[in-house]
Structure 1
Amino acid sequence: MYTKQDFNHDLYEICTKYHVKYQLLKNYVLQVIDGTTFIAVLSERDDVDWQQLQSELQQLQQKLPQNGAQLAESPIQQVNQLRQAGELNAAYRLLIPYAQDHLDDLYVQQSLGWLMYAYLKQSETNFPKYLKILNQLNTLIQFQFTTTDHYLQRLLVSILWSLRRVLKGDSEADAQTKQTLSNQLLPALKRFVGGASAFVTLQPETPSEGADATYGTPGYQIVKLLLAQLDEPHYFELFDFIGLTWFRPQDYQLTTYEQDKKIGTFAERTIGHYAKTLLNAEPPLATPQRMTNLSAQLKPILSQYPDFKWLPWYQSKLLVKIGQPAAAFSVLVKFAQRHQLTYWIWEAVADLSSDDDRFNCLCAALQCSTKPEMLVKVQQKIIPLLVQRQLYAAAKYELDQVIATRQAQNRPVPNNLQQFTQTNWYSATVAATDRATLTAAAKKAQRVLYADLPDTDIFVTYLNQAKGVVNFAYQDHTAYGALKNGYFYQDLLDDFEPQCYTALKVKLRADATKPERFQVFAVAAGDPQFAAKFKRTVSGTFEQVKDYGFVSNNSVLFKTKHRVSPIELESFFVNPELVQQVQVPPLADVKVTVVKTWRAKAQDWQWEVTDFIQSTPYEIEQTTFSGTFVKVKDSGFLIDAADNTRQIRVTSEMVQQAQLADLAVITGIISQKWQPKLKFWQWTLTAVTAITAPDPATTEIDIEGRLDVTRKGFGFVADYFVPAALITAKHLTANELVVGRARKSWDQHKQQWSWTVFELK
């Protein structure tokens, strides 16, 4: 039956294909206009294949009823009216014949879906009838849960809410009843959702029927109910088609409750339960395909969420089951590195190791504190290895422990161990009293866990022999190569004796609680180029300050200039103990070994002298000098008459000792003196040989002129400077005619001689 709706749909398809007006096409097909008029209207179009367009329109005309009959009305509207009136059976009889030929029509899909939803909703309390209707719906149509049509999404969500209500059922129903219902419903549900997990996240733009973001979509709630209610075979069937991609982002995050209870996230607990159930199941449920699929799905999850606690353990078990021991070992080692090492972890690592590594791990398992009965499996594995290594005392100790444990439990001793009691070595050996002989091997087991750690260059900066602590420096490549300091305990190095100020190549693992504390494995000689970053030989000048000192390099540069910018100077600290030990005279030329060490108080790295290689006493450079003394507070400086830029420092002690007067001409001895605070060498007056008192005839003059006062209070008479205090004291005003006397003075700012008025009237 070809309906008006079908006609409109087909005509619209042609309209959009050729970009021709819909009404024009309709008038032509219904013969409201003839072909000549139709072509004339579109004669200007040169982008249309007229022959193809006319052929498609003629095919559409052939579908129309002949002899003036009218197109049949679509039953969809009538079906919807009957459904809304509650006449479901009448609507069903009218819709089904039409729907069978029009299932690709979106309106038909929606009408059929809402009709079947009405049936489902009526029978939610009658499960056999409900299941029959759901199966009938699955027979009639297969919905696409990836649809983007909002109306169809709303329909599918409504049906999912109905399924959720049925699964939830009566709160008073027992667990067996709910399990039976869930088991029977799962195949129909799987068929309804197309055997895929898209239904879990389906939610229309406008949520309806109490959708709550807290509890998730109806599909999500359905999955959670099924996980709790299905038996084991159906539980596996559910995971077969939903996989692990249905979790919400918040399922991977800890809630406050989960943090308080110290349990994993919902996603981790759910996946872990599935993995554990699968590992404990027997064939035909525990199939290699299921294990392979789960392992493949776990890989990206563990990569994205490396902090999940137990999933790596299950992943390693799965990899063993599917025949990938190398991959299992890699995952297991990373799991072991992040957990407190218990006997069962060591046993698992031993099972994936061989030869000495296997033996060492079993020894480590026996060193763990646990109940004796928990170690029997470990003892079964290690006793033959102890016998093989002729460690008979240790083997007898473990065998006696197994026998005592089994007798206390009224259980038999394993046959492979019972046979050892009949051997000659057993009767001839005195058992060990403890497991001390296994301690060395147990310590070596740590290397198995951290063999994949990268080699790290370290430089030993300090050895605390009393506490057995080794302090070292290293470059943190996760922090752009920044220098970091750390420490570890020397007993981790077995028989290796580290030397201070040497480089080592080690495998490091930071402590989880103290980032600066490390565990160290696989020690070897270090890289000389790396050591050069922390230890070198320099030449310089030694300067003592109180009981400590500094060695400043580039000494030749400093001694040949009056002043050097501090940026050109590099100083190396000399601790008081070394100063007292070497007794190097001040300003000596020295060659020293310097090492970069961490200063805890300053929280910074500092170069420090560790050894004086050679020392040459410094002969202080000195010469005679004559210049005019300029007094500045208690001290001052000498100005060279020939070169104003050359200034010689005069200390306050020298001023007081020689009773130097301002502007006196001084002749004396000057020497190079190191200024620690200023970080440069400076010529300093060290002895006075002659003093010429200032001559008023050359240092004072009479002045006369008008006073010019500045805004800051000081003034000038011609080029003679008048201090503000003098102007204030004499109550002078600007432009007054004044007379007075001026004294010669040094202008530090202009670096030249000038005159300063000291008397006015």
Structure 2
Amino acid sequence: MSEQPFRTVNSLRKAGNLQEAWNVGFTALEHSPQDAYLKGALFWVCYEFLKHQLENINKRANSSNNYRPTDFEFEQIENLLQTIVNLEIATGGLEYKMLLVQFKKCLEWFPSMVHLVLRHQTALFDDEAKKPFQAEKGEVPSLMLSSVRQVAAAWLRARDQWQLDFNQLMALINSTRQQVSDTKHIMWLDYDQAKCLIIAGQYEQARSLILPILKKKQSESWAWGALAATYKKEDQELAIKFFAKGITSAHEVTFSLKLLQGMIPLLLVRQQTAEASMCLKKAIMAYQNSGWKVKPELQQLSQQNWYDASVDEGRLDGYLKSISQDALDYLLGPTKKQVGIVENIHKSGKGFHVFVNKSTSLSVRMGLHKSKQKPQVGDYIELVVSDDNGELAVISSSSCAKAEVADVAFLEGTLRVAPKGFGFVEDTFVPPFVIGDISNESKVLVQQVMSWDKTKSRYSWKAIKLTLVNETAVPLDYDDVPF
């Protein structure tokens, strides 16, 4: 009795005889086109060939981070992928999951993989593929999230050439958002979808995704650029304002190149040729200073009659800042500045509370604090705060000079420590963590705030910081202390 074809194919594959396994398997498939076991065996033969083809791409990407295949690699890999597609392997097994793992970094460059995901949607992903991996350096995106983001990247770049369906993509993204358990990277799926919606002309939906992102990423030029793109055809004045805000927010001029280019046609429509010339000149100089080849579209713009190469591009920053100074108001509503003092540092070290007055204490993420040094308890802080129907939100935080803050006072006296660890200086309550290693009966300077006492149902003084009077770190010149 002869061995079943799928067993022969598996044996040849495991022995490393891939070409012979291929020849034997596909010859047998001509006679048994519905043999599911044989199809499964042939899938793994194709899979091994793919692994070998992908090795060169992965090696190059180790140094360049560029996973785009050469034309020859593309043709070879696409042929293998089409063979797999034609096998019509059922979903739910290990086959497609392992295929997605192999293409985790380069899926977007292969139309057969992109169409495969769009056609099968979330059925290709098991529960494990929907969970992020917890690595030493933090959360790594789930297989499903990273794959779908690459499908979106492919649509943005090659939607017409590869005939990728927009509605299929939107359904895939929406299902992914509901099913994955990623927390750290899910925002980037929203950003991908917003970019696709902008291309599709669905600006309001795109804005609904971009605005929450921008509230978290106010200092990122790309986020402002995305918001500006949603207004290019609806409100050019706002689009210019948000492009300007993005350009001035860029950490380096190279981060703002797309925004500079996007702003030029809007300025030309308004006949602001001087400002358009500044944007173009700044972009061209950024390419030249970085040693990069200037993009052809920028070179073409520089040859048009409106462009003035002698313009002083140094004036651009002042113009951009002047027209974008109220950009945050559109994002967060009107803002105001408030001065307070650091009341305590969060146990996690990722934030702190600022005492503004006895009825207002605001939590601040450490990432919003713009000063180089981390704040300490008792430091004076200036907050930029938005007010959304009475709900205050901190936009930014920075250290500032001493100022008068309501319901804050200083007191010099003797510390009396109770057996339970807390203490008093006159009538001011001192929590144990504020006392630290300061001894009973020590002479101290107390920085205190008016705090609600739940036990007594009234406001009373509470110490937030103690300093030994004989220490020189705190001045005893009371003209310098804002009572």
Q: Tell me the TM-score normalised to structure 1 length.
A: 0.38
Residue 361 of structure 1 deviates from its aligned partner by: 0.8
Aligned residue for 1:486? 362
Aligned residue for 1:505? 389
Aligned residue for 1:321? 199
Contact 1:319 1:328 in 2 (8 A): yes
1:298 to 168, 173, 183: 173
Aligned residue for 2:240? 359
Q: Which amino acid aligns with 1:435?
A: D
Q: Counterpart of 1:245 in 2: which secondary structure?
A: helix
Aligned residue for 2:421? none
Contact 1:365 1:378 in 2 (8 A): yes
1:160 to 18, 22, 40: 40
Q: Which amino acid aligns with 1:133?
A: A
In structure 2, the CA distance between the partners of 1:249 and 1:368, relative to structure 1 (3 Å rule), is: same
Residue 355 of structure 1 deviates from its aligned partner by: 3.6
Q: Counterpart of 2:389 in 1: which secondary structure?
A: strand
Q: Counterpart of 1:310 in 2: which secondary structure?
A: helix
In structure 2, what is the Cα distance between the partners aligned to 1:394 and 1:284?
36
Contact 1:160 1:219 in 2 (8 A): no
In structure 2, the CA distance between the partners of 1:252 and 1:508, relative to structure 1 (3 Å rule), is: farther
Residue 338 of structure 1 deviates from its aligned partner by: 3.4
Deviation by residue 1:367-412 (Cα, 9 ceiling, x = unmatched) = 1234434434433444565687798986675465346446656746
Contact 2:341 2:356 in 1 (8 A): no
Does the alignment pair 1:242 with 2:120?
Answer: yes
Aligned residue for 2:2? 87
Q: Counterpart of 2:122 in 1: which secondary structure?
A: coil
In structure 2, what is the Cα distance between the partners aligned to 1:395 and 1:321?
24
Residue 362 of structure 1 deviates from its aligned partner by: 1.3
In structure 2, what is the Cα distance between the partners aligned to 1:405 and 1:185?
42
Contact 1:363 1:442 in 2 (8 A): yes
Contact 2:131 2:182 in 1 (8 A): no
Q: Residues 695-710 of structure 1 correspond to what in structure 2 (within 5 A)?
A: none
Q: Counterpart of 1:283 in 2: which secondary structure?
A: coil
Instruction: Work out the number of aligned pairs and report it.
Output: 353
Does the alignment pair 1:281 with 2:196?
Answer: no
In structure 2, what is the Cα distance between the partners aligned to 1:472 and 1:438?
36
In structure 2, the CA distance between the partners of 1:187 and 1:379, relative to structure 1 (3 Å rule), is: closer
In structure 1, what is the Cα distance between the partners aligned to 2:80 and 2:264?
54
Deviation by residue 1:298-325 (Cα, 9 ceiling, x = unmatched) = 1132245473242222111222333422
Contact 1:397 1:434 in 2 (8 A): yes
Q: Which amino acid aligns with 1:117?
A: F
Percent of paired sites with the same residue: 13
In structure 1, what is the Cα distance between the partners aligned to 2:97 and 2:281?
56
Contact 1:135 1:188 in 2 (8 A): no
Residue 490 of structure 1 deviates from its aligned partner by: 7.0
Contact 1:463 1:470 in 2 (8 A): no
In structure 1, what is the Cα distance between the partners aligned to 2:50 and 2:236?
60
In structure 1, what is the Cα distance between the partners aligned to 2:106 and 2:253?
38
Aligned residue for 1:311? 189
Does the alignment pair 1:134 with 2:25?
Answer: no
Contact 1:402 1:413 in 2 (8 A): no
Residue 506 of structure 1 deviates from its aligned partner by: 4.6
Q: Which amino acid aligns with 2:144?
A: A
In structure 2, the CA distance between the partners of 1:241 and 1:472, relative to structure 1 (3 Å rule), is: farther
Contact 1:346 1:361 in 2 (8 A): yes
In structure 2, the CA distance between the partners of 1:250 and 1:606, relative to structure 1 (3 Å rule), is: farther
Contact 1:332 1:349 in 2 (8 A): yes
Q: Which amino acid aligns with 1:241?
A: R
In structure 2, what is the Cα distance between the partners aligned to 1:431 and 1:121?
67
In structure 2, the CA distance between the partners of 1:87 and 1:306, relative to structure 1 (3 Å rule), is: closer
Q: Which amino acid aligns with 1:361?
A: F
1:442 to 324, 342, 351: 324
Q: Which amino acid aligns with 1:168?
A: E
In structure 1, what is the Cα distance between the partners aligned to 2:341 and 2:92?
63
In structure 2, what is the Cα distance between the partners aligned to 1:392 and 1:228?
43
Aligned residue for 2:301? 415
In structure 2, the CA distance between the partners of 1:122 and 1:280, relative to structure 1 (3 Å rule), is: same
The structure richer in helix per residue is 2
Residue 417 of structure 1 deviates from its aligned partner by: 8.5
In structure 2, the CA distance between the partners of 1:599 and 1:129, relative to structure 1 (3 Å rule), is: farther
Aligned residue for 2:473? none
In structure 2, the CA distance between the partners of 1:121 and 1:470, relative to structure 1 (3 Å rule), is: closer
Aligned residue for 1:532? none
Q: Counterpart of 1:471 in 2: which secondary structure?
A: strand
Q: Counterpart of 2:356 in 1: which secondary structure?
A: strand
In structure 2, what is the Cα distance between the partners aligned to 1:347 and 1:365?
6
Gaps of 5+ in 1: 1-85, 89-114, 144-155, 203-216, 475-483, 495-502, 515-574, 577-597, 610-761
Aligned residue for 2:137? 260
Q: Which amino acid aligns with 1:273?
A: Q
The structure richer in strand per residue is 1
In structure 2, what is the Cα distance between the partners aligned to 1:513 and 1:464?
10
Aligned residue for 1:213? none
Contact 1:343 1:365 in 2 (8 A): yes
Deviation by residue 1:652-700 (Cα, 9 ceiling, x = unmatched) = xxxxxxxxxxxxxxxxxxxxxxxxxxxxxxxxxxxxxxxxxxxxxxxxx
In structure 2, the CA distance between the partners of 1:382 and 1:274, relative to structure 1 (3 Å rule), is: closer
Q: Residues 70-469 of structure 1 correspond to what in structure 2 (within 5 A)?
A: 86-87=1-2, 115-118=4-7, 120-121=9-10, 124=13, 125=17, 126=20, 127-138=22-33, 140=34, 160=40, 163-164=43-44, 167-168=47-48, 183-184=78-79, 186-187=81-82, 189-193=84-88, 199-202=90-93, 217-225=94-102, 232-257=110-135, 259-260=136-137, 263-281=140-158, 283-285=160-162, 287-289=163-165, 291-304=166-179, 305=181, 307=183, 308-339=186-217, 341-353=219-231, 354-382=235-263, 398=279, 401-402=282-283, 404-405=285-286, 408=289, 411=294, 413-415=299-301, 419-421=305-307, 433=315, 435-439=317-321, 441-450=323-332, 464=339
Q: Which amino acid aligns with 1:131?
A: F
Higher RCO by CA contacts (8 Å cutoff, separation 6 or greater): 2
In structure 2, the CA distance between the partners of 1:603 and 1:359, relative to structure 1 (3 Å rule), is: farther
Q: Residues 520-599 of structure 1 correspond to what in structure 2 (within 5 A)?
A: 599=450
Q: Residues 62-73 of structure 1 correspond to what in structure 2 (within 5 A)?
A: none
CA RMSD of aligned residues (A): 5.1
In structure 1, what is the Cα distance between the partners aligned to 2:305 and 2:355?
49
Deviation by residue 1:325-365 (Cα, 9 ceiling, x = unmatched) = 22122122233333363222211210112244212211211
Deviation by residue 1:170-219 (Cα, 9 ceiling, x = unmatched) = 9877858997776455455445446xxxx3434xxxxxxxxxxxxxx355
Q: Which amino acid aligns with 1:163?
A: F
In structure 2, the CA distance between the partners of 1:317 and 1:118, relative to structure 1 (3 Å rule), is: same
Q: Which amino acid aligns with 2:244?
A: C
In structure 1, what is the Cα distance between the partners aligned to 2:281 and 2:397?
39
Q: Which amino acid aligns with 1:364?
A: K
Contact 2:224 2:243 in 1 (8 A): yes
Contact 1:163 1:222 in 2 (8 A): no
Contact 1:179 1:229 in 2 (8 A): no
